[in-house]
Structure 1
Amino acid sequence: MNWDDMRLFLAVARAESLTGAGKALRLDPATLGRRIARLEEALGSALFARSPRGYGLTEAGERLMVRAVEAEQALTEGVEEVRGQEGQLTGTVRIGAPDGVANYLLPQVAAAICDRHPGLEVQIVALARVFNLSRREADMAIAVSPPKTGRLTVQRIADYQLHLAAHRDYLAAHPPIRDLADLAGHRIVGYIPDMIFDSELDYLSATGAERVALASNSVSVQLNWLRAGAGLGIVHDFAIPAAPGLVRVLADRVALRRSFYLIRHGDDRKLARLTRFAGLLLDGVRAELQRLEGLT
């Protein structure tokens, strides 16, 4: 077995398909499939469960995944030391996050980190669901609730604020809103109820509304509806500066506080490179939250 085999294995495990991994590796999927089959034959164990939905890790594959990631990180750190770049971060770091933080906080934070570490590549995966770090979908993830199971480490990043908001044009064209009872005559924008993946994202009760007329599992879609003057909805304060014309409504009556958490795999505590990056990420997100919320 050589490192190239592990590199191919990691790519397939992360993409969960030969096609996705082949694109990342610039390798023909058929060739990649043969290489994976030979690796499984050499190890005497199936690493992937094939299905129409793709390649899922078997129990043996998950065990190998943990060690392969450790080896990958150790190799990256070793290369940095040999090149005399102990003070510089290089290689790739993948962050998973809900699309609100992925769209309105992480881009500028990641760019600032890369400005200081030009050899670093940061990937942001925005998904409206909980990330599975045990399957190494990402190197670390930002979540709105701390996980209760799994070999994970959790660091609280910071609290953030949310308020009811609407565009000035919408408010000018519709009846005034002086109390929660007045919301009954207005169109509410929010999450699709049965696609709320974390109870911390269930904001409907804060408005007293019984239904969401315009719903999406994406924070960005919701914000675009509000920006277009389509209705009222709960908005992250840190996203309001990205939507000129959006103003808070009943700010003293509808105000929510939530928290962000940085989640990492428990085994990654030994990896100095990821720990250093996590520290930069924590500091960056906290500072950007404070800056953006100050603008509102």
Structure 2
Amino acid sequence: MDMQWDDLRVFLAVARAESLSGAGRVLRIDPATVGRRIARLETDLGAPLFAKSPMGYALSDAGQRLMTHAVRVEQAVEGVSEEMAGRSGGLTGQIRIGAPDGAANFVLPQVCARIARNNPDLEVQIVALPRLFSLTRREADMVVAVSPPTAGRLSVQKITDYHLHLAAHRSYLRQHPPIERREDLHGHRMVGYIQDMIFDKELDYMREAGVERVNLASNSVSVQVNWVRQGGGIGVVHDFSIPWFRGVRKILADDFSLTRSFYLVRHADDRRLERLNRFAAALVEETRAEVARLEALT
């Protein structure tokens, strides 16, 4: 059959949104039209591309096979666009970054703002969600991760190390017994993750601190550090977040410290796209500098 790029574009939108309505919003066309386009494509191919259920549209085996080829076509089209636009000018178009909310709240906004200032035609989106992202489904163009993935056709680059410490607001410390050693934590209100919602083992901070019970729990780093800021209790916080909250101070800094790393993860095929390469290089450089700057303030 004579398959057109526009057909593949509609297919990719449905595969990534897992719904006709979501694809319609991305493509800016009516969901019913999206449905007709997919039905026609399935008829032309002689195979169902999606398994449809109340939960949405999931790729069938045939859909999975087409996805691989469709992504390659998409990358080729983007590559042609880059060549036609030229490489000497500023970055343009939309780039979406997936990131854990610690990085997304306290590091990436100022990093991406600096990059955007130098590239006025660039549109940057930060998706801040406490979960893993699928680059294959193009939920994001690149992902900042706290663990390097071990499977998939991915390109992984270490960005930088960062540090975490136990911390509390001075108002909480004034109202409670002094904390001079780790055993003194018992009896204090602790702030941390909801245990069964920890999506990466690198985030299980309280286990390493020897804390068995968390009194105030959230799957969001931003919520946790705001609890600490309000004097709600003691939490393990990113050093780079501390300068944003007056009155929050490290405790037991010589006794307990964690080192973690950020990694930039991209689909391996995207290494051929100069626009994403240039953005990734700027993101890594600026993130390293920003983490170092903020940690030096604590």
Using the size of structure 1 for normalisation, the TM-score is 0.93
Q: 2:216 & 2:46 partners in 1: Cα distance?
A: 53
What's the counterpart of residue 228 of structure 1?
A: 230
What's the counterpart of residue 294 of structure 1?
A: 296
What's the counterpart of residue 143 of structure 1?
A: 145
CA deviation map 1:249-287 (0-9, x unaligned): 111111100111111112222222222221111111111
| Runs of at least 5 residues in structure 1 that lack an aligned partner in the other structure | none
Cα shift at 1:190: 0.3
What's the counterpart of residue 179 of structure 2?
A: 177
1:122 is matched by which residue type in structure 2? Answer: V
Cα shift at 1:210: 1.3
What's the counterpart of residue 160 of structure 2?
A: 158
Q: 1:115 & 1:123 partners in 2: Cα distance?
A: 14
Cα distance change on mapping 1:62 and 1:267 into 2, 3 Å: farther
CA deviation map 1:5-31 (0-9, x unaligned): 222222222222222222223322222
What's the counterpart of residue 113 of structure 2?
A: 111
State which drifts further: 14-23 or 156-165: 14-23
Is this contact kept in 2: 1:62–1:135, CA < 8 A? no
Residue in structure 2 matching 1:189, options 188, 191, 206: 191
1:9 is matched by which residue type in structure 2? Answer: F
What's the counterpart of residue 264 of structure 1?
A: 266
Q: 1:192 & 1:6 partners in 2: Cα distance?
A: 40
Residue in structure 2 matching 1:199, options 195, 198, 201: 201
Identity across the alignment (%): 65
1:126 is matched by which residue type in structure 2? Answer: A
User: What pairs with 1:4-83 in structure 2 (closer than 5 Å)?
Assistant: 4-83=6-85
Is this contact kept in 2: 1:188–1:213, CA < 8 A? yes
Q: Does 1:249 align with 2:257?
A: no
What's the counterpart of residue 134 of structure 2?
A: 132
Q: 1:58 & 1:90 partners in 2: Cα distance?
A: 34
| SS of equivalent to 1:133 | coil
State which drifts further: 66-75 or 190-199: 66-75
CA deviation map 1:20-66 (0-9, x unaligned): 22222332222221222112222223222222221222333233333
| SS of equivalent to 2:286 | helix
Q: 1:228 & 1:28 partners in 2: Cα distance?
A: 46
Is this contact kept in 1: 2:163–2:257, CA < 8 A? yes
Using the size of structure 2 for normalisation, the TM-score is 0.92
Q: 1:195 & 1:13 partners in 2: Cα distance?
A: 26
1:52 is matched by which residue type in structure 2? Answer: P
Residue in structure 1 matching 2:211, options 200, 209, 212: 209
Cα distance change on mapping 1:249 and 1:255 into 2, 3 Å: same
1:260 is matched by which residue type in structure 2? Answer: F
Cα shift at 1:116: 1.6
Cα distance change on mapping 1:210 and 1:228 into 2, 3 Å: same
| Runs of at least 5 residues in structure 2 that lack an aligned partner in the other structure | none
State which drifts further: 257-266 or 85-94: 85-94
| SS of equivalent to 1:78 | helix
Cα shift at 1:139: 1.5
